[in-house]
Structure formats: structure tokens, C-alpha cells
Structure 1
Amino acid sequence: MEKLDKLKSILGDPFYSNDSTLIYNMDCLEGIKILKNAGVNIDATITSPPYNIGKEYEKIMPINSFIEWLSEISNLIFDITKSNGSYLLNVGYLEVPGKGRAVPITYLVWDKIKFYLHQEIIWNYGAGVAAKHYLSPRNEKILWYIKNQDNYTFNLDSIRDPDVKYPNQKKNGKLRCNTLGKNPSDVWQIAKVTSGTNRSSEERTKHPAQFPVDLITRMVLGFTNPNDIILDPFMGSGTTAEVCMSNNRLSLGFEIREDYCHTIANRLETILKTERIKELTPTLF
């Protein structure tokens, strides 16, 4: 709690907090500037900003303005990130008038950010828009940025895939595959959070663009360490905070919409209440 208490003394009273979480109903640009001016350092950032495509939580900007805005936020995050920290940026596609209907935001922003781009991860999912005049989109990108090419956090054993086709295959008498599983590679097949009658995901909230728990869990376990402070400047439905709560990490989130802050608070309180019930009545679970 000492780390979170320090952040509270700098940012003021949060909209919501618990022993591992601080949520501020604040524009992230304002919040990150306060942290920078106070000399705060965080361990990692995991986030998915608006894609500038007209969702209910965003106002469409000219493309150049959108990229400048996203770059400014990303570069401020660089300034407050520890030397061995990571910045995991999930982005999708947008239309560039006269140039392309579905241009990956990665093409427009990747080299405008001060971090070193270590790798691009492809998030592949099954459900999505059913297109008739083009291929149905089934992937988004996660840019894995690091601050120091020679010193960064990467916990491969924590995210190995146990689904190995030939787990007992040997070479020269030794197992060819790590007993914990295989490297999950840079293509992640993880289900999207779906909505709709008879198809809504169990973790679904009212937020229209919700991060899947499984996706964030892999990022948290793979690219951060226990007790790290993880920033999500676009907290949305609170998935990053939930995953941090479940995996011994601390989370700091900014969310500009108050209704989404209520969604996050209700979501996290429901989880905490369930955990308390389990502790009091373990035989029921």
C-alpha cells in the first residue's frame, strides 16, 4: 500500500480504490503530466486507447491530430517508465481518407514513440464483424515497446503454452520441449469479449470495447513482476485492474468517463465480495 499511498498524495483522492487499485476519473494526459512533474516512475503500461473510429467514448479527430495526441501520451509514458519497463499498446484499424479503408494504426504511430519497438504481437480472435465486401477482420495488434534493449522484464516461463503436440519428443536423449510448455509465439489466439443474446461473454460489462481477461493476464504475467505498478491510462471497463488484483500487481488507471468509472468500481467490488465469501465459506467452492 505504500506505493499507492504515495500516488494518492500526488494525484489526490481517487474515484475508487482498494488495496491494489487506484482509479481516477481524469483525462490521462492531465494525470500523466502530474506524475511526470512529481518524478513518479511506474513499471509498465498496458492499455488500449480509442481507435478514432467513432465509438461512444471518443470524438473523431483528423488523422494527424489523432496520431499526435496518441504519440504525446505515449512519450509522456516513456518519461515516467522505469528503465526496465514495458509499454504494451493495443491498437486496431482506421480509415485514412483517399488512402485506405482499414489501415493498421501501428503503421501510423510506431516510429513516433520514444520507446524501442521490441516486437509486434498479433491478437487473433474468432468472433467479430461479418463482412460481405472484404475479408472479415479477426485481428488487432499489440506493440511491445521497451525502454532499454539490454534490460527489460520478460517472464517466458510464466506464459508458456502447455498445449504441445509432441511433449515427450526427445533429441539425443533429452526432451526437445520445455516441460512447462512452448513459447506462445507472437500470434495469440485469444477469444474476444462478445455481446448479444445467447453469445455474450461471461465477463461482459456495459463497456463497448472490453479487454479480455485472458489477453491482459498473458501481458501482466509475461511483461511485469509481482508488486509492480501497472498503468492503464484508458481504463475502460477495468480489466487491467482486475487482472492486477488477481496476480499480485498494483494498478493505476485513468478513465475520463464517470459512468465507466462506476462500471469499474462495481466490477472490482463484486470480485472482492466473491473472494471474501470464499474465504468465509471455503467448503462451498
Structure 2
Amino acid sequence: MQLELIRNILGTPFYETDNCYIYNLDCLMAMRKLPDRLVNLTVTSPPYNIGKEYETPLPLEEYIEWSKEWTHEVYRLTVDDGAFWWNLGYVEVKGKGKAVPLPYLLWNSNPFYLIQEVVWHYGAGVAAKKMLSPRNEKFLWYVKNPIKYTFNLDKIRDPNVKYPNQKKNGKIKVNPLGKNPSDVWEIPKVTSGNGRSSKERTPHPAQFPEAVIERIVKACSNPGDIVMDPFMGSGTTAVVALKHGRKVFGFEINEKYCEIAAKRIEDFLDEVRHSSAQVSLFTLIND
């Protein structure tokens, strides 16, 4: 019903399929039209204001003000036990710093309660000559209610336990499902280039690996929940949300990236249909 309500308010999406809408709209303008307490989880990576091909850099003060505006809308749209995961990189602050982490400037720019910062360490990237080579980005994990919020730890436990049979007072000490992942996530980037391109690679220049978003979606939402991505990009959030039984909608101001996201979702759905057909055929053969 909530997705239908979104469609009634915003009109026909650029792309739609069951449980998924993508709008070729400015997210701030679109979110302002939607009612309160609509979204269970928001996962997004807005432009970092560093001059990438998909952004027009703003003066830093304007960028901070714009960030306040759209994150306040995310807060308004979030249900009481919902969450907001915000990916942030680095920016130069004139006269002060070359690679200042954006969380230093933005962590308290909205009404959410900050649970913690999560470091995504990706292991490969730009090689620097006059500074250490950057190899991480940050996520800020916010909730609306610091006492009651969705966190499904058992869904994301790390099975790689160093001492799985360790006991205390005769009982196995560790959880049989694995250990609690730390706040540093070792997940490779989506690579490009001949002979080394990731399987999930699209033409988008700043694509998330599905493994990062998958951990967030599984931990901070439940099947049937609504996930939003205000900066949809290549559609990673949408694919992961659909893969795990969530409903999803989002916004992408660049039509080219809307097309990339739509194709990626269709390719995923084709794989699902093909796998289902194979299972059905196998069942018939063995009946």
C-alpha cells in the first residue's frame, strides 16, 4: 500500500516493477511531497562534492546546508524504529585540510541519533604520492529511536570464528551462528578494467559492491519493509532490497543512471526467472 501511495503522489516512475519504483527526480523536491513515517530504512551515498562527473561542486557551506535539508526529509519519512545509513567520503577544506572526512562536518547535521561510524575498507584505490593512499570510506549509522530500533545481528554474523569450540564453564562460548562483525568492514570495491572487472560492474563511475549494502539491509530492515535510496545511482540498493524480500523506491536525477539501474534490475529479475524455470524443470524431470 505504501508504494502505491508514493505512486499516487509522485506519478508514474521512470522505472517500475513489482515492489520497486525509481524516479528520475530531484530527491529533495520529491521527498518533500511524501507523508511522514513511510520508510523503514534509508541507505544512500550522495555526491561527495569533489567534482565527480555526476555532480556540480557547491561551496562547502552550501553543500553542508543542502545535506541538512535532505537528511531532515529522510528523518521525517522514517518510521519510529527505522534507520538511516549514510555513506560519506573526504573533501578538501580550503586552508584547513586536504582530505577531511565528511563525517567530521556532517555527523550532527540532522535530528537522528548516531549509533556509530562504520569504516568500509576496500583494499584498492587511488595511489597517492604526497600522502597515504586512501583505502576507506565511512558510513554513519543513525536511528530515530535510540532505545528501540531494528537490528538483526543474527542475520549478519561472521562465521569466520578463530576459536569456534572455545568453552566457558563447559559450554561453547561463541554463538554457533558466528561472531558480531566489527565496525571495520573488509569488502573489496567494484573494480573495472580489462581482465579485472567485477561481475556486477556497470558504467556508473562510483558503484557500491552489493555485499556492503546487503549487510546493512539484512541488519536494519525486515522482509516486507520499505527501503529508500535518495541517490539511486547504479541501483545497488534496489537490487539488494529486492533480493532480500524488501520493497524499495528511490530517486536519481541523472537519466543515464536511471537507465543503468533499470537494466540492472531487469537483469537480476531475468536471472531469478531463469533459476525458477530451471528448478521447475528439474522437479518435473524427477517427478
1:48 counterpart (45, 50, 59): 45
1:39–1:165 CA distance, 2 compared to 1 (3 A): closer
Contact 1:167 1:177 in 2 (8 A): yes
Please give the secondary structure, in 1, of the residue aligned with 2:9: helix
Aligned length, in residue pairs: 281
What's the CA shift for 1:40? 5.3
What's the CA shift for 1:42? 1.0
Match of 1:88 in 2: 85
| CA distance in 2 between partners of 1:174 and 1:116 (Å) | 37
1:164 counterpart (161, 169, 179): 161
Match of 2:242 in 1: 245
Answering whether residue 200 of structure 2 is matched by residue 228 of structure 1, we say no
Query: In the TM superposition, what whole-angstrom CA distance separates every residue of 1:35-82 from its partner, at most 9, and x where no partner exists?
Result: 1xx445211100000000000110011111001101110011101111
What's the CA shift for 1:197? 1.8
Contact 2:37 2:79 in 1 (8 A): no
Please give the secondary structure, in 2, of the residue aligned with 1:67: helix
What's the CA shift for 1:276? 1.1
Q: Kindly report structure 1 stretches of 4+ aligned residues shifted beyond 2 Å.
A: 281-284
TM-score, normalization by structure 1? 0.96
Query: In the TM superposition, what whole-angstrom CA distance separates every residue of 1:141-176 from its partner, at most 9, and x where no partner exists?
Result: 100011111110100000000000110110111111
Match of 1:189 in 2: 186
Answering whether residue 266 of structure 2 is matched by residue 272 of structure 1, we say no
1:127 counterpart (124, 142, 146): 124
Contact 1:20 1:244 in 2 (8 A): no
Match of 2:16 in 1: 17
| CA distance in 1 between partners of 2:226 and 2:9 (Å) | 15
2:146 counterpart (142, 145, 149): 149
| CA distance in 1 between partners of 2:236 and 2:23 (Å) | 15
2:110 counterpart (105, 109, 113): 113
What's the CA shift for 1:195? 1.1
Output aligned runs, 1:204-219, within 5 Å: 204-219=201-216
Identity of aligned residues (%): 55
Match of 1:64 in 2: 61
Query: In the TM superposition, what whole-angstrom CA distance separates every residue of 1:3-62 from its partner, at most 9, and x where no partner exists?
Result: 321211111100101112100000000111011xx4452111000000000001100111
| CA distance in 2 between partners of 1:207 and 1:6 (Å) | 30
What's the CA shift for 1:208? 0.3
Contact 1:20 1:245 in 2 (8 A): yes
Matched residue type, 2:114: L
| CA distance in 2 between partners of 1:222 and 1:249 (Å) | 12
| CA distance in 2 between partners of 1:200 and 1:132 (Å) | 25
Answering whether residue 2 of structure 2 is matched by residue 3 of structure 1, we say yes
2:94 counterpart (81, 94, 97): 97
User: 233-242 vs 128-137, which deviates more?
Assistant: 128-137
Contact 2:49 2:56 in 1 (8 A): yes
| CA distance in 1 between partners of 2:146 and 2:54 (Å) | 35
| CA distance in 1 between partners of 2:61 and 2:253 (Å) | 22
Please give the secondary structure, in 2, of the residue aligned with 1:199: coil
Matched residue type, 1:201: S
Please give the secondary structure, in 2, of the residue aligned with 1:205: coil
Contact 1:26 1:256 in 2 (8 A): yes
| CA distance in 2 between partners of 1:137 and 1:180 (Å) | 33
Matched residue type, 1:269: E
